[in-house]
Amino acid sequence: MKLLEDKIRADGKVYDGDILKVDSFVNHQIDVPLMNELAKEFYHRFVDSGVNKILTIEASGIGIASLTAQYFTAPVVFAKKSRSANLAPDVYTAKVISYTHGNTNNILVSKDYLGANDRVLIIDDFLATGEALFGLCDLVAQAGATLCGAGILIEKAYQAGGKTARERGIRVESLARVASMSQKDGITFVEE
Amino acid sequence: MKLLEDKIRADGKVYDGDILKVDSFVNHQIDVPLMNELAKEFYHRFVDSGVNKILTIEASGIGIASLTAQYFTAPVVFAKKSRSANLAPDVYTAKVISYTHGNTNNILVSKDYLGANDRVLIIDDFLATGEALFGLCDLVAQAGATLCGAGILIEKAYQAGGKTARERGIRVESLARVASMSQKDGITFVEE
């Protein structure tokens, strides 16, 4: 989506260690008018999927998930991160490795808020290795819910997550697909 | 605000230790259509204040803050929590004690996203002791920004935070002010 690609070109910053910093408009400061346009785009792409719940993960997915949810008139559920394994009987849990932060989180959702009648759209800001996405898909499966797909703001298309997800039959809609990035040559996007 | 009070009466759960659990609609699952009505109410209350930035704190403030920000056509900045003191020169930091979780967090905002030209509306889900609110006010002061006020979903009016904040001259608008709560007698609200 050109609107987001242009914004990333203008304000995204590439750092060593494969880091694309977008905290001026995505994950520290949130450009809400921009995010609202992206939320509408997710709505248009999934409008026929019968979505009745948006699932994301704290913290940076919550803003775009909430803006998207209003168009579906659906609630958001955000998975919580916990350093310790939570073995409580009333939650679904999955393990998620963060390569960015070099640690492993357990993510969890209360069984009260995800169930067999839910048709779930996962919303998140980034897709790279797919760790977070597959963790969320795992929670959806545990709940017996139906996965409609995943709406992603920025996919690092040169990493395996998106490819693996699509091979598994998950409908992934990424609004910007980074083909390559470097401080020297800047950022290029996959031509759709 | 009756809409929110009714929802709290219907779906809020009171637990030992002064806990009001609202995670079915505020801070785990987010009832986005409801939050959108509350967001509009914040807009109506602060529409004449020249707000150009919404400040909140991760994670549970981000949803309501993002929905509110769209009416002001303003960005959201969410303060991040860190267990360790971050002494980086490029952030504002404040210390916040969490009585709920029994720990102390440092909250931080990048200096890039809060500055002297900002007219800030703080949005948060709860106000009790005021720790989080005063930490956020501290960040606003460090930035030399103007504080327009604070929009709070649920104030525990029997705790000191709201009173102290108003005595300090902070305009606090709470949409539901809990006067008392117990498992036995239920929840009562301050009559406005």
Interchain proximity A32–B112, CB inside 8 Å: no
Q: How confident is the model at residue A191 (pLDDT cuts 50, 70, 90)?
A: confident
Q: Is the pLDDT of residue A150 over 70?
A: yes
Give the pLDDT confidence score for residue B133 in this predicted structure: 98
Q: Is the pLDDT of residue A106 over 90?
A: yes
Give the pLDDT confidence score for residue B103 in this predicted structure: 87
Give the pLDDT confidence score for residue A181 in this predicted structure: 97
Whole-number Å distance between alpha carbons of A172 and A40? 16
Give the pLDDT confidence score for residue A61 in this predicted structure: 96
Q: Is the pLDDT of residue A188 over 80?
A: yes
A31 shares contact with chain B (CB less than 8 Å) = yes
The torsion angles phi and psi of A157, rounded to 5 degrees, stand at -70, -15
Report chain A residues whose CB lies below 8 A from the CB of B78.
28, 30, 59, 63
**ipTM here:** 0.96
Q: Is the pLDDT of residue A130 over 70?
A: yes
More confident residue, A59 or B87: A59
Is this structure's pTM higher than 0.90? Answer: yes
Alpha carbon of B26: minimum distance to chain A alpha carbons (Å)? 10
Q: Is the pLDDT of residue A83 over 90?
A: no
Task: Report the range of poorest mean pLDDT among A4-18, A124-138, B48-62, B78-92.
Answer: B78-92
Counts for chain B of helices (H) and strands (E), in that order? 5, 11
Give the pLDDT confidence score for residue A87 in this predicted structure: 65
Report chain B residues whose CB lies below 8 A from the CB of A110.
23, 28-29
Give the pLDDT confidence score for residue B11 in this predicted structure: 97
Average pLDDT value over all residues in chain B: 95
Helix (H) or strand (E) segment spanning residue A37 = helix A32-46
Q: For residue range A6-43, list pLDDT tens digits in order.
A: 999 999 999 998 999 999 999 999 999 999 999 999 99
Interchain proximity B69–A32, CB inside 8 Å: yes
| Closest Cα in chain A to B32 | A75
Whole-number Å distance between alpha carbons of B173 and A16? 44
Give the pLDDT confidence score for residue B137 in this predicted structure: 98
Q: How confident is the model at residue A116 (pLDDT cuts 50, 70, 90)?
A: very high
Mutate to test the interface with A, among B51, B56, B66 (most CBs of A within 10 A): B66
B113 shares contact with chain A (CB less than 8 Å) = yes
Which residues 42-81 of chain B have a CB within 8 Å of chain A?
54, 58-59, 62-67, 69-70, 73-78, 80
Whole-number Å distance between alpha carbons of B58 and B106? 12
From the list A54, A62, A70, the residue facing B59 with the nearest CB is A62
Averaged over B27-40, what is the pLDDT?
98
From the list B30, B58, B74, the residue facing A32 with the nearest CB is B74
A13 shares contact with chain B (CB less than 8 Å) = no
A103 shares contact with chain B (CB less than 8 Å) = no
Whole-number Å distance between alpha carbons of B143 and B127? 23
Q: For residue range B7-23, list pLDDT tens digits in order.
A: 999 999 999 989 999 99
Q: Is the pLDDT of residue A85 over 80?
A: no
Averaged over B49-56, what is the pLDDT?
98
For residues A70 and A94, is the Cβ–Cβ distance under 8 A?
A: no
Domains of chain A, residue spans: 2-79+118-189
The domain A2-79+118-189 having CATH identifier 3.40.50.2020: the answer here is: yes
From the list B24, B59, B112, the residue facing A112 with the nearest CB is B24
Give the pLDDT confidence score for residue A89 in this predicted structure: 82
Give the pLDDT confidence score for residue A24 in this predicted structure: 97
Interchain proximity A66–B113, CB inside 8 Å: no
Q: For residue A13, count CB atoms less than 10 angstroms from its CB and return exposed for 0-12, middle for 13-18, buried for 19 or more.
A: middle
From the list B25, B31, B70, the residue facing A32 with the nearest CB is B70
Q: Is the pLDDT of residue B178 over 70?
A: yes
Q: Is the pLDDT of residue B192 over 90?
A: no
Q: How confident is the model at residue B106 (pLDDT cuts 50, 70, 90)?
A: very high
For residues A101 and A81, is the Cβ–Cβ distance under 8 A?
A: no
Give the pLDDT confidence score for residue B115 in this predicted structure: 98
Interchain proximity B62–A59, CB inside 8 Å: yes
Fold of B2-189: Rossmann fold (3.40.50)
From the list B32, B62, B76, the residue facing A75 with the nearest CB is B32
Q: Is the pLDDT of residue A86 over 70?
A: no
